[in-house]
Amino acid sequence: MGTDGRDARGRIAPEDFLGIGELARRSGLSPKALRLYDASDLLPPRHVDPFTGYRRYGADQVGRALLIARLRGLGMGLERIRVICDLPADAAGQELRSWWLQEQADARTRSTEVASLLTDLRTLPTEESPMTTDHTERTAHTGHPAHPAHPAHPDERSATASAAVRIAHVLEQGGVRATQQDAVHVQDLPGGRLLLAIADGFGADDDLSGRLLDALGEGLRTALDSGADGPPASDVLAALESAWAALPDLLPADGASGAALLAAVLDGKRLVLAHLGDGRALLVREGHVEPLTRDHTQVASLVAAGRLTEEEAAADPRRAVLNRALAAGAPTAPDLIVRTLIAGDRLVLTSDGIHAVLTPEALGESLLAGSSSERTVQDIARRTLEAGAPDNLAAIVADLG
């Protein structure tokens, strides 16, 4: 028997063969990913049954599969991985070091270009949309009959906006979690603005999400309350940044708890979003659903950069691990996103208890069905609960008239 598990005729002993499921279990790669690496000739099986197509791998291929998984997790391309996998250990180490040195150099170059571009953008003239006044219609979801929801605030409030806004929200504990750590917040702000926010807590502090949202709302109210008419629209972004900057002070010092947080300020025709974590904001316009946010995970960043396929990401065990969140020791600055709204738009905020369960197709069916905001959140909750709802779930749907 040779050192690679083959006998003198080049055959692998039967006990050293692994099915694709067993190799997936040992390596952490999904069967779909293993098929992808077979198709790219990066990790071909030792034998494929000509009749059934059943793949059999050698036990000695587990190490290569583990190495591929780790290198893909770093965002390395398949061609570079193939080179490293075929080199002896010392040479492979030098190849990896060379790749990382170039990655760092590329990051420095991009950082310089981003700083220059930010300077240029600040000098461009901006056009603010004038605000008009109207009353906002507000409804709170009463919940799926078997799983009552918990509105965060009274149903009726007046607010001003560019047109009537119909808002409904849902907050459910789900079918598995012993406590509720999600929170929903809807609040009128000075100058006829409106705050919509959701938070998804994790760790030992069940009430952290609610406290963070209350503090964000109060901070925004204070920052924007500079008179009966409120400050100019250009100050909303600065007010949101200021209110957000105070939130890390509310985090437990032991780092045992934290939250993902997504906040939207409706400011006339302008939408200002602050996003940190894996809550998602969607804009539904003219029959299309546009994602406005991107999950703050390394896996999501690799997919966005084209370094990891959607199929690989779906099977990656780290796909839900946040690398940015409101948590001690993590980067706590949010993404700030500004969009212009038009009549007929629908804004949707969801916690990952919804979009981690529902496929984009299923969620899209609910959002594009033409139902009212209240019926839409009811349908989203129903679909999620029927799928098992392993996590708390929260959603806000706002329709602009």
Q: Give the tens place of pLDDT for each residue, 292-331.
A: 998 888 777 777 777 777 777 777 777 777 888 999 888 8
Among 106-110, 122-126, 188-192, 222-226, where is mean pLDDT lowest?
122-126
Q: In this predicted model, which residue has the larger pLDDT, 343 or 6?
A: 343
Pairing, β 137-138 against β 165-172:
parallel
- Highest mean pLDDT among 11-25, 104-118, 151-165, 298-312 belongs to 104-118
The pLDDT score that the predictor gives to residue 147 is 35
What per-residue confidence (pLDDT) applies to 146? 33
Helix or strand or coil: residue 230?
A: coil
pLDDT for position 126: 55
- Strand partners of residue 336: 274
- pLDDT score of 226: 64
Lowest model confidence (mean pLDDT) among 72-81, 203-212, 336-345: 72-81
| pLDDT recorded at residue 125 | 67
Question: With contact defined as beta carbons under 8 Å apart, do 397 and 348 qualify?
Answer: yes
CA 43 – CA 61 distance, rounded (Å): 8
Least confident of 73-87, 135-149, 386-400: 135-149
Q: Which residue has the higher pLDDT, 272 or 147?
A: 272
Q: Whole-angstrom Cα distance, residue 221 to residue 217?
A: 6
Q: State phi, psi for 382 to the nearest 5 degrees.
A: -60, -50
The reported pLDDT for the residue numbered 69 is 85
Q: How many helices (H) and strands (E) does the chain have?
A: 12, 15
CATH superfamily name and code, 137-400: PPM-type phosphatase domain (3.60.40.10)
What's residue 102's pLDDT? 75
Which amino acid appears at position 71 of this protein? L
Q: How far apart are CA 193 and CA 214, in angstroms?
A: 16
- The confidence score (pLDDT) of residue 134 equals 35
Contact 368, 287 (CB under 8 A): yes
Q: Under a CB-based contact definition with an 8 Å cutoff, are residues 27 and 66 in contact?
A: yes
Query: Taking the chain, what is the end-to-end CA distance rounded to the nearest angstrom?
Result: 75
| Max CA distance (Å), the chain | 89
Alpha-carbon gap, residue 279 to 354, rounded angstroms: 9
DSSP string of 216-269, one letter each residue: HHHHHHHHH-SSTT-S-TTHHHHHHHHHHHTGGGGS-TTS--EEEEEEEEEETT
Question: Taking all residues of the chain, what is their mean pLDDT, rounded to a whole number?
Answer: 82
* Dihedral sign computed on CA atoms, order 22, 27, 29, 33: negative
pLDDT for 155 beyond 70: no
pLDDT tens by residue, 3-58: 444 554 555 455 578 898 888 888 888 888 888 888 888 898 988 888 888 889 99
Span 14-86: which CATH code? 1.10.1660.10
Answer yes or no: is pLDDT of 124 > 90: no
Lowest-pLDDT choice from 74-78, 270-274, 365-369: 74-78
pLDDT of res. 257: 93
- Nearest alpha carbon to residue 63 among 109, 17, 23, 90: 23
Map out the domains of the chain as residue ranges: 14-86, 137-400
pLDDT per position as a tens digit, 188-233: 999 899 999 999 999 999 999 999 999 999 999 999 986 445 555 4
pTM over 0.75: no
Report whether pLDDT(168) > 70: yes
- Count of beta carbons in the 10 Å neighbourhood of residue 100: 12
Task: Give the angle 362-363-367 at the CA atoms, nearest 5°.
Answer: 120
Position 14 scores a pLDDT of 52
- pLDDT tens profile 180-195: 999 999 999 998 999 9
Mean pLDDT over 364-370 rounds to 96
Question: How many Cβ atoms sit within 10 Å of the Cβ of residue 293?
Answer: 20
